[in-house]
Amino acid sequence: MIEYEKALNEAQFKAATSMNGPVLVIAGAGSGKTRTIVYRLAWLAEHGVAPASLLLLTFTRKAAREMLHRASLLLDQGLTGIQGGTFHGFAYATLRQFRPAWLEGRNFSVMDAADIAAAIKHCKDELKLGKGDRSFPRTQNIIGILSKARNKELPVEDVLRREAFHLLPHAEALTRLSAAYAAYRREQGLLDYDDLLFEMEALLREDGRAAALLRERFRHIMVDEYQDTNLVQARIARLLAAPGEERGGSVMAVGDDAQSIYAFRGANVRNILDFPKLFPGTKVIKLEENYRSTQPVLNVANALLAGAEETFRKNLFTRREGGDPVRLITPVSDLSQADLVVRRVQELLRDHLPHEIAVLFRAGFHSYHLEMALNRAGVAFRKYGGLRYAEAAHVKDVVSYARLCVNPLDMPAFQRVAALHSGIGPKTVQKLYAAAQSGDPAATEKAFARFPGFLDDMRFLDEQRARPLSPADQLSDITAHYQPHLEANYPDDWPRRRQGLEEIIQMASSYQDLDLFVADLALESPEEDEDAEGRITLSTVHSAKGLEWGAVLIIDLVEERFPSRHAAADPESFEEERRLMYVACTRARTHLDLYAPGSVYSRAEQSTILSAPSPFVRDLPSGLCEEWVEVYGGELTRRGSAAAPERPRRARLLPPPSGTAPAPTEPDFPAVGEAAPPDDDAPPARLGYCRHKIFGRGKMIKFLPPDRYQVNFPGFGLKIILANFLQPED
């Protein structure tokens, strides 16, 4: 017999040995969720439950196989007969046995990706949709939109309004296409991926005999990652378990409401939050002991959850001793942030293997500047979630325009820009290139006459070369010129791609010369070996779920980046962003760094502006993190921590002018949870010249109490800058 009480902690044991009735296991991050499920399978088998009466529903077949294998090893015997797999796999097996009534005795086929694409194209052609309209979404995007509408159980128009506003003009057409696609499947006896779930639900509701047989067979149901279920999956679980009915089965849902981050896929956090209401008599068991992270990391995670509007309250703890404090770093800007992160990664590499280090971010394009910095430093990396800037086709297009600005003889760039125009093949490119480089305006005009769009490109580039613009301004103009190509070539997701281009413009704002910027962009990252252990990880938080690293650095923790811009006005979205932050923090085992830059590049202002820290770090209790601030010159200065309650006082770089109120001694935002004290003995100073790390030399125009100056920077205009980010000059 397995000694369950020795193998499991108290909460795990309680969950594993629960025999009957509905049970909800709230499994905090790193709390041994899989171990608990494995031991429960073994315990049920040891206590006489027939394997054939067990149903294990997971989100991947791999997860189900692993759990069943581990349970078999515990028992030293096979568990033949247990039904384990995904919701979709279980639905398919069931529908083979109990075919939907509308088939009228016919067999059905499950469509693969190619079948679905062909069917959508057929229906689109039948309805004569999108002909000659390059803005009409492509087949793959149509599939995604229709699937998302079904999984979220929303009208197509609502999905477009929330997630693809630029496609709203096609809402009516896509709604018609959805109806035609549904009719086509019925006519042909076909089921797609989503149909499996809805047909399974219909079977349980409409076929009393089938429902009774399934409930009789599966007396113990376990659902893993319950926070990731969509509405129809939750209804299937309830229909199978049939709470309150004589033949209802015992159901255990395992998950963590604090890790529900896939609403964009259709996951609904209400499924787990409302579980006790939908299953009367539910026993709620919380797994709070963490086996992954140190207590300082868990303290931050607990603080994040404390601010949640609605959640199952839990307090993660560990029996592990020690652990470095969580660091909250305030770089001068999002530009200097990349350099600080690279330096920190290099420090961590002294004690960690590369694959034990990860940098996480909210959106894929947020890492572009960091990728360049890592390339320059020779640090190899692997990226998950979003494209690397060097791999993004639209980025390559814009960079090709920039390369031609720098070097009109750049043949590869010329070819790429030419390829944006229809009718230009390899031979034609050679002729056009020769004409363009001849220096003869008349010959050029004649050669390009058949391609007015490409001729317009050449004229635009000539104008750009003649204008004394900064690299950021040049790229901004290029991006605006490229916009029609962006919308035409990427009708499905051009707004997202445009965000990536804005990041490229922001990257260029730290350069004085376009050629240097283009050269840095062209630098290849270190040769990628097959062995992932030789590279650090860059990842979106969504792609990082389920993973863990020894050291985790989270960047861009400022408003409108994390949480995202669109989440601020929507309470539900904001709470999901909070959960996303919780997931990010709990990926760390021993080291966690949070980066909240004091300024970011604003496309609207076409300059770097002051930024507000993310509310997720701003609202952390004072003393929870060790706080560091970047000062002029790129150095980090300790501001405060739990270990050092006394706030360090440093000499002011720029004191207020004589006769003005003293400004706070700290360079940026107050310490988390407190206000910065005034520096009453700051010496007077006169307005004069100063230097900024990004904008260079400038003239101080006006002091703005308590701690800012208005400064005129040649080439950048008037800026309002924190005093401690300015170095006085004669």
Task: Tell me the β-bridge partners of 613.
Answer: 558
Q: Is the pLDDT of residue 363 over 90?
A: no
> For a pLDDT cut of 70, what percent of the chain falls above it?
88
Q: Write the pLDDT tens digit of every residue in 255-275.
A: 999 999 888 888 899 999 999
Q: Give the lowest-confidence range in 66-70, 112-116, 245-249.
A: 245-249
Task: Tell me the β-bridge partners of 718.
Answer: 712
Side chain identity at 369, as an amino acid letter?
H
* Top-confidence residue, 199 or 61: 199
Total residues belonging to the chain: 730
The residues, ordered by sequence, that sit 6+ positions from 509 with a Cβ below 8 Å of its Cβ are 335, 470, 471, 472, 601, 607, 608, 694
pTM above 0.95, yes or no: no
pLDDT at residue 163 in the model = 82
pLDDT at residue 532 in the model = 61
Q: How confident is the model at residue 244 (pLDDT cuts 50, 70, 90)?
A: low
Q: Write the pLDDT tens digit of every residue in 328-342.
A: 999 988 888 999 999
Q: Is the pLDDT of residue 657 over 80?
A: no
Q: Is the pLDDT of residue 66 over 60?
A: yes
* pLDDT mean over 551-566: 91
pLDDT at residue 726 in the model = 83
Q: How confident is the model at residue 641 (pLDDT cuts 50, 70, 90)?
A: very low
pLDDT at residue 387 in the model = 63
User: If you average pLDDT over every residue of the chain, what do you get?
Assistant: 84
Q: Write the pLDDT tens digit of every residue in 23-41.
A: 999 999 999 999 999 999 9
The closest of 224, 231, 232, 299 to 259, measured between CA atoms, is: 224
pLDDT at residue 335 in the model = 84
Distance CA 106, CA 100 (A): 9
Beta strands in 587-645 (DSSP E): 588-595, 599-602, 607-610, 626-630, 636-640
Q: Give the lowest-confidence range in 71-80, 420-429, 476-485, 538-547.
A: 71-80
Q: Give the lowest-confidence range in 61-70, 548-557, 642-651, 689-698.
A: 642-651
Element of type H or E holding 536:
strand 536-540
